[in-house]
């Protein structure tokens, strides 16, 4: 079974039996390989104030600040903090990094003589920084404003003619990440819920990864716990003040852990399906993850019992029943979509989606069977209980 370059790490000699065997508590017997990554992380309320020092720490003097058009104001605040270390603001980041967007941003960085990028935003903005870094090697300081987790990974993506290419390259891994919960204060509930579920998906798949290891499994379980506990408060607009700030901080901590888990081990059927559905049917990234996750989890239920136990345990009050139904209950509690139909998937595309999902499949704890995948997609389209 093939491994896609971006979601699957290099095959490891001992990987085949390390995944499902990564037990609830490490018993000292499993062989594993763990690679640590040296990103510097600043965390907490007010940490954005350290941005100029962090840019200086990289030896940079002219930072290009990146953002989406919608987040121009947040980028202007970051540029104001940077003072004369800001070379300019480039506000053209877009979902899935279209090649022409990447070329325009690279040209702008060169024109302004930028020697680093400050990415203020979600996965799309960090992705644009990575596209610049890929050819120029410019270091990235990431200031995340969603829970996508891209800031912790060496995975890049570029879309050309509707086809998304992805890969791994250590030079795109942001050198410094500043997690300031203040960046999340403007995040609307309808983006926050799915974005949080996207982060949980990284943790779920890390727990049954072919190359799972005890460190990443601890990180992943704690990531689910932090997100499941905080997200219902994050999306509750009636909660304000100190309680809200604490929930944003806890969710951001969970997103950091989730990004770390995504970078640390290989992903499986869930990420393959989301990649296929998002790329071929132009569905929203975080929304697709939100809908598919309970079904992908149910697909692996029998094949990865220890992972299921850890997911349930981490889901807290949502984990009373089964891991898959708990994840769907959490999505519902967040007011997030729970069917492919709701997010614009055409019913007549399900056969093609199943065909694509079984082509070059990622390793998965349960073998990938076309009929079972097709029937899972049917359940997901209708939003039925995950079987």
Please report, as residue ranges, which positions from 164 to 203 form the binding site for ligand NAD (by CB under 6 A). Answer: 183-184, 186-187, 191, 195, 198
Regarding 68 and contact with ligand NAD (CB under 6 A), the answer is yes
* Choice between 122 and 294, CB closer to ligand NAD: 122
Q: Residue 207 in contact with residue 227, Cβ under 8 Å?
A: no
Region class of 83: left (phi > 0), else alpha (psi between -120 and 50), else beta = left
Stretch that binds ligand NAD, among 30-38, 101-109, 148-156, 206-214 (CB under 6 A): 148-156
Q: How far is CA 297 from the centre of its chain?
A: 17
Nearest residue (CB) to ligand NAD, 98 versus 294: 98
**Is residue 45 a contact residue for ligand NAD (CB under 6 A)?**
no
Which own/partner contact pairs does 244-247 have at CB distance under 8 Å and 24+ positions apart? 245/45, 245/181
**Phi and psi dihedrals of 88, rounded to 5?**
165, 175
Which of 3, 9, 85, 96: binder of ligand NAD (CB under 6 A)?
96
Q: Which two tokens stand for residue 340?
A: 């492919």
Q: Find the binder of ligand NAD among 117, 155, 373, 376 (CB under 6 A).
A: 155
The smaller minimum CB distance to ligand NAD, of residues 165 and 352, is found at 165
| Residue 252 near ligand NAD by CB under 6 A | no
User: Cβ distance 272 to 361 under 8 Å?
Assistant: yes
Binding mask 256-295 for ligand NAD (x = CB under 6 A): ------x----------------------xx---------
Sequence-ordered list of residues with C-beta below 8 angstroms from that of 261, at least 6 positions apart, any chain: 202, 203, 206, 216, 219, 220, 223
- Piece of 105-113, 121-129, 216-224, 321-329 that binds ligand NAD (CB under 6 A): 121-129
Q: Pick the closer one to ligand NAD by CB: 212 or 261.
A: 261
Q: Scanning residues 207 to 246, which ones bind ligand NAD (CB under 6 A)? A: none
Q: How far is CA 337 from CA 27, 148, 292, 302, 379, in A?
A: 39, 17, 10, 26, 14
Binding site for ligand NAD (CB under 6 A): 68, 70-71, 95-96, 121-125, 127, 145-146, 148-150, 153, 155, 157, 183-184, 186-187, 191, 195, 198, 262, 285-286
């Amino acid at each position: 079974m093939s491994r896609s370059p971006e979601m699957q790490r290099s095959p490891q000699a001992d990987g085949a039996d390390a995944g499902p065997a990564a037990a609830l508590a490490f018993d000292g017997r499993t062989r594993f390989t763990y690679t640590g990554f040296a990103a510097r992380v600043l965390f907490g309320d007010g940490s954005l104030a350290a941005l100029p020092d962090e840019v200086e720490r990289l030896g940079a003097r002219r930072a290009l600040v990146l953002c989406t058009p919608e987040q121009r104001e947040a980028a202007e605040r970051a540029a104001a903090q940077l003072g004369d270390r800001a070379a300019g603001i480039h506000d053209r980041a877009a979902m899935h990094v279209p090649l022409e967007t990447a070329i325009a941003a690279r040209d702008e960085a060169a024109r302004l003589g930028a020697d680093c990028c400050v990415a203020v935003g979600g996965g799309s903005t960090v992705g644009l920084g990575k596209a610049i870094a890929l050819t120029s090697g410019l270091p990235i300081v990431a200031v995340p404003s969603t829970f996508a987790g891209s800031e912790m990974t060496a995975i890049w993506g570029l879309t050309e003619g509707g086809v998304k290419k992805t890969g791994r390259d250590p030079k795109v891994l942001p050198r410094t990440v500043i997690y300031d919960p203040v960046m999340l204060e403007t995040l609307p509930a309808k983006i926050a819920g799915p974005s949080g579920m996207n982060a949980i998906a990284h943790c779920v798949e890390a727990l049954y990864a072919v190359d799972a290891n005890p460190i990443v499994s601890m990180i992943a379980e704690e990531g689910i716990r932090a997100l499941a506990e905080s997200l219902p408060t994050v999306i509750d607009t009636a909660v304000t003040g100190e309680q809200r700030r604490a929930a944003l901080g806890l969710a951001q901590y969970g997103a950091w852990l989730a990004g770390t888990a995504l970078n640390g081990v290989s992903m499986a059927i869930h990420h393959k399906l989301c990649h296929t559905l998002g790329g071929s049917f132009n569905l929203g990234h975080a929304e697709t993850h939100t809908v598919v996750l309970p079904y992908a989890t149910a697909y692996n239920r029998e094949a990865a019992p220890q992972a299921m136990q850890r997911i349930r345990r981490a889901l807290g009050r949502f984990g009373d029943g089964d891991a898959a139904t708990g994840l769907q209950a959490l999505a519902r509690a967040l007011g997030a979509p729970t069917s492919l139909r709701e997010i614009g998937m055409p019913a007549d595309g399900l056969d093609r989606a199943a065909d694509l999902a079984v082509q070059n499949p990622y390793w998965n704890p349960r073998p990938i069977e076309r009929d079972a995948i097709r029937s899972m997609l049917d359940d997901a389209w209708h939003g039925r209980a995950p079987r």
